[in-house]
Chain A
Amino acid sequence: MERGLSSKTLGMLLITPSLIIIAVTMIYPLINVIYLSFTKSFLIDPTGSYTFIGIKNYLLLFRNPVFWIALKNTLFYVGGTVSFEFLIGFALALLLNQQIKYRTTFRGLFMLPWITPSVVVALLTMWVFNSEFGVVNYILKSLGIISRYRGWLKESSLAMPTILSVTVWKMFPFMLVVLLAGLQTIPEEQIEAARVDGANAIQRFLHITLPHMREIIMIVTLLEFIWMFQYITIIWTTTKGGPIYATTTLPVLIYRSAFKDYNMGYAASIGVFWLGFLILFSIFYIKVVGEKD
């Protein structure tokens, strides 16, 4: 049946180029960075020499209050964005899944924030939330919600909630679209049968829709959680982690340590901690949410 190559060999041959690229772009840099995290090494050091210092970077890290602030900010930012994106995305997906006209058009229009490049969202944020001329200040004051113009990105109590809301606005369409696609795979007859048996809307949602959506919900929320850990564009463009440390998340802290303080070993240790945290979190999450009981 096979001519020349056996199918197993062909299968291996086809993935080899990708595996090489993955090795060069992910595995090698990762090993390099893990090694760096146990050394004292500076980016501007012309000799490029590393001194092995064991776990000292990690000890310094755990003793540094800024690291704990950044970790807390990251969890607040990621937890907040993923929860609100999910709630808004799922609610709108349920609405759009009803028999309404122009569903495809609505879905397409809701996607626009997600299509808009992150840098554009960041610049737009600076403009609409501007403390003197921003339209948000104008609208909220006209509605009587605020009594005076606020510096949404300048006041330390407001900067993080502002950036969080903007991120939710940018990212919820992804949830909406994937969850809507999931809802459309639920067989109509199942819901109809439950309706005939006298199940009300809430019961149908809890006993048919939710179990059916469990796997999709797990995958999109986990992916979004992982992505939001990385997401630095809006923060770096608008506040650079400030005022003081109000919007300093882990990626901001790593970037500052590596490319402003040139302390590569220290920056690497933050990254390794983060990766370890995400791996443990994901295993736990998949166990708790993903496993069918």
Chain B
Amino acid sequence: MIAGRSYRYVILGVVILALFITLFPIYWMVLTSFKPRVELFKLPPDWIPETPTLKNYYDVLLSVKAERLNFITYFKNSVVVCSAVVALTLILAIPAAYSFSRFRFGGRRTVLNLVLVSQMLPIVMLLIPFYVTFRKLGLLNTYVSVIVPYLVFTLPFSMWMLKGYFDAIPTELEDAAMVDGCTKLQAMSKVVLPNISPGVIATSIVAFMMAWDEFIIALTLLARDEMRTLPPGIVLSFVGEFEIRWGPMMAASVIVSLPVMLIFAFLHKHLIAGLTAGAVKG
């Protein structure tokens, strides 16, 4: 019994140590964002800020002097692009996943294989035809030019995740509704759909995170500064400057991370259930 308990403490100790190492870089980012400029280069560094300041956040969000940092514009662009990607992904993936779950197209592994192959397509390679086509159509520097390529990775992955949720709902549920006079389509929208809302939430989060994270497509297809999303926007604003402004750079990093962190804080159970649904069921 005592051996069992001390064994448990050892495990807990190892887990806490691993967690400490895992979280330290994030702590360092937040810490740096609150440090005044002079404190950044102090050695040994302060582990807790001596004179915390909001100046870095002010510089990022409000300062008109901070040339070449249209942070608010990048943020707005990111929100528009990501919302559109999530909406389109759901509209397309929900019916498709339902169909894959209820009707047999090929074998058990069809969707999984589709997902694997779609993830294998080198995005940087597909950027070439996207660039050429959008240039021809005059669509470079528009939201459309990134929203369409983003579906390459959000759509198959979402179909796979959602199929797992549909699979878990017994077909008897729809059959019962149809006996009661619903059409197949009504049975799907009124009976099945409400039951997979956790799956819809999880899929939305993953699609949102994928789009929020994307860098190289946006960097290439949105060359005009006022169209840029956050990832290329902040990289081009801070990296390559003669003297990197570390404080504002870390403040910008914190703000970019906040939306996904907040979503995660409230919905992480849905997200984790969704991520694991596809893989665990195979």
Q: Is the interface of A mostly helix, strand, loop or mixed?
A: helix
Give Cα A112–Cα B27 distance, bound, in whole angstroms: 11
Most buried by A among B19, B129, B264: B129
Q: How far is the CA of A174 from the CA of B91 in the complex (A)?
A: 26
Docked-complex contact A237 and B235, CB < 8 angstroms: yes
Residues of A within 8 A of B185 (CB): 5, 10
Q: Indicate if the CB atoms of A219 and B279 lie closer than 8 Å.
A: yes
Q: Provide the bound-state CA to CA distance between A119 and B78, in Å.
A: 13
Given the contacts A258-B124, A275-B122, A178 and B279 also touching, CB distance less than 8 Å: yes
Mark A81-108 against chain B: 1 for CB-CB distance below 8 A, else 0. Answer: 0000000000010011011110010111
- A18 and B92 contacting across the interface, CB-CB below 8 Å: yes
Q: A123-B239, A182-B280, A226-B116 are in contact. Are A112 and B121 (CB under 8 A)?
A: no
CA distance A18 to B115 in the complex (A): 13
**Residue from B122, B215, B257, B280 in contact with A254 in the complex, judged by beta carbons closer than 8 Å:** B122
What is the chain A residue whose CB lies nearest that of B247?
A: A127
With A18-B93, A123-B238, A128-B28 already in contact, the answer to whether A274 and B215 are too (CB < 8 A) is no
Question: Number of contact residues on A: which range applies?
Answer: 35 or more
Q: What separation, in Å, do the CA atoms of A63 and B91 have in the docked complex?
A: 47
A255 to B22, CA, bound (A): 31
A26 at interface by CB-CB < 8 Å = yes
Is B168 close to A, CB under 8 A? no
Is the Cβ of B268 less than 8 Å from the Cβ of A108? yes
Residue pair B280, A275 in contact (C-beta under 8 Å)? no
A216 within 8 A of B: yes
CB contacts between A and B, total, < 8 Å: 268
Query: Is the pair B92, A124 in contact by a Cβ cutoff of 8 Å?
Result: no
Q: Say yes or no: B127 contacts A118, CB within 8 Å.
A: no
From A43, A109, A112, A127, B250 is in contact (CB under 8 Å) with A127
Among B49-57, B59-67, B150-158, B195-203, the stretch that binds chain A is B150-158
The one of B124, B131, B216, B230 that contacts A271, using a Cβ cutoff of 8 Å:
B124
A233: contacting residue among B102, B120, B231, CB under 8 A: B231
**14 A-B interface contacts by CB (under 8 A):** A3-B183, A15-B105, A18-B159, A22-B156, A25-B155, A26-B152, A107-B272, A115-B264, A116-B260, A127-B249, A133-B41, A142-B44, A220-B279, A237-B235
Residues of B with Cβ closer than 8 Å to A?
8, 11-12, 14-15, 18-19, 22-23, 25-26, 28-29, 32, 40-41, 43-45, 91-93, 95-96, 98-100, 102-103, 105, 112, 116-133, 136, 148-149, 151-152, 155-156, 159, 178, 183-185, 209, 212-213, 215-216, 220, 230-231, 234-235, 238-239, 244, 246, 249-250, 253, 256-257, 260-261, 264, 268-269, 272, 275-276, 279-280, 282
